[in-house]
Amino acid sequence: MAVNLDKATVREKIARRAEQEIESGFYVNLGIGMPTMVANYIQPDKQVVLQSENGLLGIGRSPYEDEVDPDLINAGKETVTASVGASYCDSAESFGMIRGEHLDLAILGGMEVSETGNLANWMIPGKMIKGMGGAMDIVHGSKKVVIIMDHVNKYGEPKILKECSLPLTGKGVVNRIITDRAVIDVKEGGLELVEVGEGWTIDEIKDCTGAGLKVHEDLYETKQ
Amino acid sequence: MKDIYTSFQEAVRDIEDYSTIMVGGFGLVGIPENLILALVESNAKHLTVISNNCGVDDWGLGLLLQNKQIDKMIGSYVGENKEFERQVIEGELEVELVPQGTLAERIRAGGAGIPAFYTPAGVGTPIAEGKEVRTFDGKEYLLQTGLTADYSLVRAAKGDKHGNLIYNKTARNFNPMMAAAGATTIAEVEKLVEPGTLDPDHIHTPGIYVQSLIEGQQEKRIERLTLAKQA
């Protein structure tokens, strides 16, 4: 049975699932938009350092009114605070720590992901091109890249495809895709379905995915 | 030794038409607000501007756009500006989009005497078109060139009269690399102090990179005020 949830509930569901990718001790970059929401659900027993590519290692909570410093923002240009033990750096150093693979995990949004782990998330031909920001660097810079997005677009078409139709952000960069319906890993031989969301069956996930899916063996017992 | 200005108009007076200028800042944070305002007034045209973003419609580099002073913009994200979109569509403005980390490193390289370097960012994407790809240890990389400028306009929290600069929090961003990559670097500082006042161990930009300084007060506009809910 397909599940219909409102947009906010879907986003929260995806963000909560993405939080489980974060282990205590991790340095993590969260992309702009839905990925930023993941920070709201980080379990208090986990020690996590969030990196902001504009030069902050250790993003804190949003400021109270009397704490606002206009010189302190995250990469989404929102006012933030610095966490205890944070550090600042310039943009070259910030991307040096990204490109040098010092981060454990990056959680980013996506428009399309291919079965070889190609990611498209920065431009739609024919529409105004705003720029890639830091996305093209960040996809190469983390030990693990997790993409969170809706499983299908607003027309109900798959966003997980054999080949991306949109211009790429990175080639062969995605390790895991978390959607409102499933969790899918990018493996050597293609995509592997590792989790099926509540209310969905394996066949329904296959039907709304535009690339072949191997099914992780543990799933058959619980979801068939 | 350094030129210390008291007038922003004076500070940007030598910037001529067709100059390439780097402008520090990420969004509106860390931008040299008063130097930009003075550049609008100076009316220098046909500029090539290198900056991560291009301001908003009525502030920062957006003001230079409105005054049609920019021919070419090199940046990583220009989405906050309607006039920008109009000028691109009308063919009045040329844009070169560069991944943000590549942009930062191109500027760093330019200031450090490195003509080019390889980076994984952008391999297999539209920005790889026409660029050399080379494989190291089985992984592909793009050749990217260093960037320099005729002028760099930067902003710091504190500067001394030897040109040493200290930035505040995330207002540092692109400013230090740009200070090094500009043939002439003009620093707008919130507070100008005598040499010896700043701890040499705390200097972010050593004075050698800075040719002139001016003290000024900024508005520090906030693009996205996000507050915690009061408990």
A204 part of the active site: no
Domain that holds residue A142: 7-221
List the single residue in A with minimal CA-CA distance to B172.
Answer: A90
* Rounded Cα distance, A22 and A24, in Å: 7
Span A103-119, average pLDDT = 97
Class of the CATH domain delimited by B3-114+147-215: alpha beta
Number of domains in chain A: 1
Do residue A99 and residue B121 have CB atoms under 8 angstroms apart? yes
Average pLDDT over chain B reads: 96
Chain A CB contacts of B81 below 8 Å: none
The DSSP symbol for B89 reads H
> What are the CB-based long-range contacts (under 8 Å, 24+) for B107-110?
B107/A92, B107/B22, B107/B50, B107/B146, B107/B147, B107/B174, B107/B177, B107/B178, B107/B181, B108/A92, B108/B177, B108/B180, B108/B181, B109/B145, B109/B146, B109/B147, B110/B146, B110/B147, B110/B148, B110/B149, B110/B180, B110/B181
**β-strand A182-187 against A190-196: which pairing, if any?**
antiparallel
Do residue A133 and residue B76 have CB atoms under 8 angstroms apart? yes
Portion of chain A with pLDDT greater than 70, in percent = 97
What single letter denotes the amino acid at residue B187?
A
Span B176-189, average pLDDT = 98
Answer yes or no: is pLDDT of B6 > 60: yes
What's the pLDDT at B86?
Answer: 87
Report residue B231's pLDDT band, with 50, 70 and 90 as the boundaries.
low
Q: Is residue A2 part of a domain?
A: no
Closest of B58, B57, B53, B92 to residue B75, by C-alpha? B53
A118 touching chain B per CB within 8 A:
yes
Catalytic residue among A12, A19, A23, A53: A53
B132 touching chain A per CB within 8 A:
no
Between the CA of residue B53 and those of A161, B185, B202, what are the distances in Å?
Answer: 32, 19, 28
Please tell me the least confidently modeled range out of A26-35, A122-131, A211-220: A122-131
Measured in whole angstroms, how far is the alpha carbon of residue B23 from the centre of its chain? 3
Chain B CB contacts of A65 below 8 Å: 227
Q: Is residue A176 part of a domain?
A: yes
pTM here is 0.96
Report residue A223's pLDDT band, with 50, 70 and 90 as the boundaries.
low
Q: Which residue has the higher pLDDT, A113 or B78?
A: A113
Do residue A92 and residue B204 have CB atoms under 8 angstroms apart? no
B187 touching chain A per CB within 8 A:
no
Shortest CA gap B65–chain A (Å): 16
B176 touching chain A per CB within 8 A:
yes
Do residue B105 and residue A92 have CB atoms under 8 angstroms apart? yes
What single letter denotes the amino acid at residue B13?
R
Q: Is residue A70 part of a domain?
A: yes
